[in-house]
Amino acid sequence: MQTDDSWKHNVSFYTLQALFTSANRRDDFIAVSIWTIMLLYALISNMLILAGIARSSTMRSATSYWFIISIAICDILMTFISLGHLVPATAFHEEYVQFKSIRNIVMIFFYDLFWYTGVVQLGLMAGNRFVSIVYPMEYKHIFSRTRSLYLILFGYFLGFLVSLPTLFDCCHTLWDSNYYITVYEKPDTLYKYVDMAVNSISLCMMIISYAVIILKVRASGRAMAKYQLTIRTRQQNALVNGVSLSCQMSECGRTSSVRPPRSQVSKKEMRLFIQFFVVSLVFLLTWTTWQWLPYMSESKWAYFVMTSLFFINNSVNPTVYIIFNTQLRRELHYLICRHHVITTAQNKRKQTLFGRGIAAANKIETDFQNNTRDDATKSLVDQAGSLSSQSHGTIDEHVRHQLLIKNLDYTDKDTKISAV
C-alpha cells in the first residue's frame, strides 16, 4: 500500500515538473522571440546611422554627430553581447552557460562597460546642446575637434573604470536566465551605490542642461514675438500717419531704433536638441524603472519588462535620429534606394535634355521661318526699289526726248528766219 502511494506521489511529482518545464520553455520562447526582434532592429538601425553619417561630409565634420556615432557604437556592441550571450542563455539556461561561470562574469562586465560609456556620452551630449544653444559664440572653442575627441575617449575610460569592479568577487554582476534580469551575486554589495551615483550624475546633467535650454528657447521665442509685434504696430502707425516705415525705424524721429533679438536659436540646433532630449527621456524611463520596479513586483515578467527597456534604449536612439533628422534620412534613402534614386535622376535628366532638344528644334524652325519671311520681304522691297528706279529712268529719258524735239524745232525756225 505504501509502495502504491509512493509510486503515485512520484508520478504526480514528475507530471508537475514536466508541466512546469513546458511552461518555462514557453515563457522562454516568448522572451527570446521578442528580444531577438528588438535586438535585430537595434543592430540594423544603428548600423544604418553609422553608414548615413559616414556618407555625409557635413555630418562627419560636425562634432555633435561624433557623440551620436559614439553612442551608436556602444549600442551595437551591447546588441552583439545580448545576441551572443543573454538570448542564448535565456533559451538554453545551464546548458549554454553556468550562472557563476567566468564567461557570464566577463560578458556582463563588457555589457556594463558599454552601458556606462553610453550613459556618460548622454551626459556629454546634454552639455554639448547646452553650450550650442545657450552660449553659441563659445561653442566652437569648447567643443572643438580635439576637445570633443578627448571627451569621447574620457567617456570610454570612465565607463571602463566604473565597470571594472564587477570582475572582483565583491561586485560580480551576473545574468539570471530564470528571471530574465542581471543581478548582483551579493545583494548587499556597495557597488550598487556606484552604479546609482554614475547614472544619477549623468541624469542630473541632462535635467539641468535641458531645463536651461527650454527656458532659453522660451525667452528667445517671447523676445521674437515682442519684436514682431513692435514691427506690426509701427507699420500700422505708418499707414495711419502717412509716415514711411524706414523713417520710423531709423533715428530720425526717435532716440533709439528697434533691433531684432540676438542669439536666436536656429532650426538645426533645435532639431538636434529635440533628438537628444527624447533619447535622454528614454534613458530616464529605463533607469527609473530599474530602480523602483523590483520593489513593486518580484515576477519574472516584471524583470522581463526591465530588461526589454534596456533593449528598447538601444533601438530608440537611431529611431529618433531617423525620424527627426532630415539630412540623415536623405542619406539613408539614397543608401537604401540608390538604384531607384539614380534611375529617377537619369530619367529626369533625359526628360530635361529631350525637352531642351525639342525647344531648340522649335526655336531653329521658328528662326528659319522668320529668316525666310525676312528674306522674302527684303527681296520684294528690292524689286520694288528697282522698279521704281527703272520707272524714274524711263521718265527721265522721255523728258529728254521731248526737250530734244523742242530744241530741234527751235533750230529749224531760226534757220528759216535767217534765210528770209
Does position 1 have pLDDT exceeding 50, yes or no? no
Does position 19 have pLDDT exceeding 80, yes or no? no
| More confident: 252 or 185 | 185
Helix or strand or coil: residue 174?
strand
Q: What is the pLDDT of residues 315-341, one digit of tens each?
A: 888 888 888 778 888 888 888 887 565
pLDDT over 70 percentage in the chain: 65
- What is this structure's pTM? 0.70
Q: Which pLDDT band, with edges at 50, 70 and 90, does 262 fall under? A: low
Range ranked top by mean pLDDT from 48-62, 224-238, 398-412: 48-62
Q: What is the pLDDT of residues 110-145, one digit of tens each?
A: 999 999 999 999 889 888 888 888 888 888 889 999
| More confident: 280 or 312 | 312
Q: Return the amino acid letter for 137.
A: M
Instruction: Give 319-383 as a 3 state SS string.
Output: HHHHHHCHHHHHHHHHHHCHHHHHHHHHHHHHHHHHHHHHHHHHHHHHHHHHHHHHHHHHHHHHH
Mean pLDDT of the chain: 76
Q: What is the pLDDT of residues 351-376, one digit of tens each?
A: 665 566 666 656 666 665 666 655 55
Residue 182 and residue 195 in contact, taking contact as beta carbons nearer than 8 Å: no
Q: What is the pLDDT of residues 200-220, one digit of tens each?
A: 888 888 888 888 877 877 777
Q: How far is CA 51 from CA 4, 35, 122, 128, in A?
A: 69, 24, 21, 23
Q: So where are the chain's domains?
A: 17-243+262-341
Average pLDDT over residues 168-177: 90
Q: Which long-range contacts (CB under 8 A, 24 or more apart) does 71-74 make?
A: 71/118, 71/121, 71/122, 71/125, 71/279, 71/317, 72/46, 72/317, 72/318, 74/114, 74/115, 74/117, 74/118, 74/121
Residue 314 and residue 282 in contact, taking contact as beta carbons nearer than 8 Å: no
Residue 164 and residue 110 in contact, taking contact as beta carbons nearer than 8 Å: no
Does position 16 have pLDDT exceeding 60, yes or no? no
Overall residue count recorded for the chain in this entry: 420
Q: Is 231 left (phi over 0), alpha (psi -120 to 50) or beta?
A: alpha
* Cβ within 8 Å of residue 169, ≥6 positions away: 185
Backbone angles phi, psi at 184, to 5 degrees: -80, 135
Q: Which pLDDT band, with edges at 50, 70 and 90, does 310 fall under? A: confident
Average pLDDT over residues 24-33: 90
Q: What is the pLDDT of residues 90-111, one digit of tens each?
A: 999 888 999 889 999 999 999 9
Q: Which CATH number fits domain 17-243+262-341: 3.90.190.10, 3.30.470.10, 1.10.3470.10, 1.20.1070.10?
A: 1.20.1070.10
Radius of gyration, CA atoms only, the chain: 44
